[in-house]
Amino acid sequence: MPTILGQNQYGKAENRVVKITRDGDTHHIKDLNVSVALSGELDEVHYSGSNANVLPTDTTKNTVFAFAKEHGIESAEAFGILLARHFVDSCAPIHRARIRIEEYSWERIATSDANSQFIGADEVQHSFVRKGQEIRTAQITYDGEGIQVLSGLKGLTVLNSTNSEFWGYIKDRYTTLPEDYDRILATEVASVWRHNVTGAEGERMPNWEKSYAQAKKNMLHAFAETYSLSLQQTLYQMGVRVINARPEIDEIRFSMPNKHHFKVDLAPFGMKNEAADGAVYYAADRPYGLIEATVLRDGAEALIPVDMTNL
């Protein structure tokens, strides 16, 4: 049976690069997990084993670390753009580069303790505690012409202890869920948004750090401020808020598990357990409802993949 090679890509995955920048005694930290995937004229290495067009994955790893030293890491997005352009523009057989980045954030340890050896300082300039909140993500793809920048986050867990209802749904012979007029709404937000940059010569890039902070802030505010009749409605409002607030973002997709909190039946113990009185809930971890949707600026093209598990 004749066979042919299909889609293929290669590169070094999960390069854990930590860059410290010193500003006098004040240190700054960038902590990234960078994965490189290259594609192009790579049929021969699969068919005959000829490595003539192969830039070793080991070299792609070295490039990540060397670029961190040479250029610094201003933001995950800016670093990813530099790398993607480098691989495609400097290596003829490579036609496309995809750089995926996870960023772990750190905050300074505050020491207002009188016994601290760092007298007078509220924060130790070189001591950090890992932030337990979300992981920031970025994916940059470059094909020699256009650039696509997807930014995002995952693991951002949020909860509203009221202002959420769920009722009026279809009821068939298998429906047992009681209608709820005051429930907990909790989810772990995973989101990816697309910037309307093209990579054209002379194009002004967004301030990536500010754009990220504002996108996150807007989605959190929308989560808190939406009186919710369903998680779907809340999700849509979160997307609307980001698109309306950030002109550089044209598309945003969310994957949000409904982290169910069920009121425990305390009737056997002669106790009422109502939301209005402050209830006790059982936090179930699975199964969970999984609510996913994209929100687009009117006229924008939907380009974020439906399955964003690996983004």
Residues assigned a catalytic role = 12, 57, 260
Please indicate if the annotation marks 87 as binding a ligand. no
Cβ distance to ligand URC smaller for residue 207 or 232: 232
Compute how many residues bind ligand URC; rule: CB under 6 A: 7
Sole residue written with tokens 């800016």: 78
DSSP-based three-state secondary structure for 48:
coil
φ, ψ of residue 278 to 5 degrees: the values are: 90, 95
Query: Among all residues, whose Cβ is closest to ligand URC?
Result: 231
Contact 88, 94 (CB under 8 A): yes
Q: How far apart are CA 281 and CA 180, in angstroms?
A: 14
Cβ distance to ligand URC smaller for residue 177 or 213: 177
Please indicate if the annotation marks 258 as binding a ligand. yes
By CB under 6 A, name the one of 263, 289, 293, 300 that touches ligand URC: 289
Smallest gap from Cβ 181 to ligand URC, in A, equals 13
180 secondary structure, DSSP code: B
Interacting residues with ligand URC between 149 and 188 (CB under 6 A): 166, 177
Please indicate if the annotation marks 166 as binding a ligand. yes
- 135 forms beta bridges with 154
Bond prior to 257 in cis (omega within 30° of 0) = no
| Burial of residue 226 (number of CB atoms within 10 Å: 0-12, 13-18, 19+) | buried
Smallest gap from Cβ 296 to ligand URC, in A, equals 21
Interacting residues with ligand URC between 214 and 233 (CB under 6 A): 230-232
Binding-site residues for urate sit at 57-58, 166, 183, 232, 258
Residue ranges in contact with ligand URC by CB under 6 A: 166, 177, 230-232, 258, 289
